[in-house]
Amino acid sequence: MMRYLVMLMFFGAGAAFAQETVRTGADVLAASNFDRLDGKTVGLVVNHTALVGDEHLINLVHAAPNVRVGAIFGPEHGLRGTAEDGEAVSDGKDLLTGAPVYSLYGATRKPTSTMLAGLDVLIFDIQDVGARFYTFISTMGLSMQAAAEAGIPFIVLDRPNPLSGAYVSGFVLESDQESFVGQYAIPIAHGLTVGELAMMIQGEGLMPGLESLALEVVSMEGWDRSMQWPDTGRPWVATSPNIPRFDNALVYPGTCFFEATSASEGRGTLTPFLQVGSIEVDGARIAEELNNRSLPGVRFEGVEFTPAPLSSMDTAPKLNGQTIRGLGITVTDRQNYQPVEVGIHILHAYYHASPDSDQFLTRPEWLARLSGTSRLLEMLSSITPEAIIASWEDDTARFTQRSEHYYLYD
């Protein structure tokens, strides 16, 4: 059993981009002295990103008068955010509060009735990246479902969507592709905050069993839909080992497709998702081809890198120890950059440049899970990137018409 001392384990979050202009839901709740939690025993679904200034939410709730931390729940990558992608995380105990720490990324992904026993409310506070296949929003939905079954309220402390609230793109998940990396019928980039998404999940019936849930969202102050992360003035906290900076988060919704290939998505380097590469394909050639397309907000170049084990990020990267002549991605205009569209262009170019496309796309079932459709593989072989992108635009437009009803911010 692992033991945690929360007050010691959360360190500096890095330099801020500018003076903070956005207050998160956690900031707002803390400023109220946690009045709405008075007399309650609370469960916290959190990780290392649940910060109020330099202090962790667990510490602040524990210090609040007449509030008791009854249980703590951690998502993928664990409470510390250091476990590798897909690595099971064990349960433990928090030494500060004495509360049990339950992993929701191991044998159990949904809080059980035993875990929730004695709790008056369940609170969610985790920084997401705005991509459907990032599993924190799946953990949120399953926790909502568990709270509904237990008959306790569920409170979301809202945080910014780093990609903005205006960018919506990618296939809407098809029902036969539902999994932990795709729990809801939403696009890859959904353009919602976690609070707005929670409201939509309940309001649109995107997950069963939530009709009776008492859902509350503590809204942010100062955020609007045009803001990407740097516009918030808040320091970036690595949301997972391979998303150490906002730059990685910005490209991730597109280059994550390379997880389904024999090529490297940059894991095992200090710039994951900002570079990709294959042993068989010259990245400089791909860079020239893509630069000729004049895709908005991005420049490509040939790069050379060698994936290697990194204890803090990935201990067994693909193509470990092999020198790759890959493709580097530089975002030149983040407000016009379209990560999902760019990802399709890159994937399509590598697919057609590979000597054997079947050897390149080694995990077609994973590509279907990530993209949300089994049709993408056939599309890659038969139509242009522009046609692939056009194929989802009607669906994303319909999604936006529905999701607008749940907007909390202009």
Query: Quick one: 256 and 187 in the same domain?
Result: no
Query: Quick one: 30 and 123 in the same domain?
Result: yes
Query: Quick one: 119 and 28 in the same domain?
Result: yes
For residue 140, what is the domain's CATH number? Answer: 3.40.50.12170
Element (H, E) at 145: helix 136-150
The DSSP symbol for 177 reads G
Could you list the residue range(s) of the whole structural domain that residue 256 is in?
A: 246-374
Show the low-confidence residues of the chain (pLDDT under 70). 1-19, 81-86, 88
Tokens of 374: 């089994």
Query: Quick one: 251 and 199 in the same domain?
Result: no
> pLDDT for 210-249, tens place per residue?
999 999 999 999 999 999 999 999 999 999 999 999 999 9
Euclidean distance between CA atoms 158 and 193, whole angstroms: 7
Query: Quick one: 339 and 313 in the same domain?
Result: yes
For residue 314, what is the domain's CATH number? Answer: 3.90.1150.140
User: pTM (2 decimals)?
Assistant: 0.93
Tokens of 220: 């942010």
Query: Quick one: 274 and 307 in the same domain?
Result: yes
Q: List the strands of the sheet with 41-46, edge to edge.
A: 2-4, 92-94, 100-103, 68-74, 41-46, 121-125, 154-157, 215-218
Q: For the chain, what is the domain count?
A: 2
- Which residues lie closer than 8 Å to 378 by C-beta, 6 or more apart? none
User: Are 67 and 37 within 8 A, CB to CB?
Assistant: yes
Query: Quick one: 266 and 231 in the same domain?
Result: no
> pLDDT for 303-351, tens place per residue?
999 999 998 788 899 999 999 999 999 999 999 999 999 999 999 999 9
Query: Quick one: 272 and 369 in the same domain?
Result: yes
Query: Quick one: 299 and 161 in the same domain?
Result: no
Domain finish residue from 171, 203, 236: 236
The answer to whether residue 149 is domain-embedded is yes
Euclidean distance between CA atoms 330 and 291, whole angstroms: 11
CA angle 213, 214, 219 (to 5 degrees): 125
Neighbours of 118 (CB within 10 A): 11
Domain finish residue from 176, 208, 236: 236
Query: Quick one: 367 and 225 in the same domain?
Result: no
Euclidean distance between CA atoms 309 and 318, whole angstroms: 10
Specify which residues 132 forms β-bridges with: none
Tokens of 225: 């839909």
Average pLDDT, the chain: 94
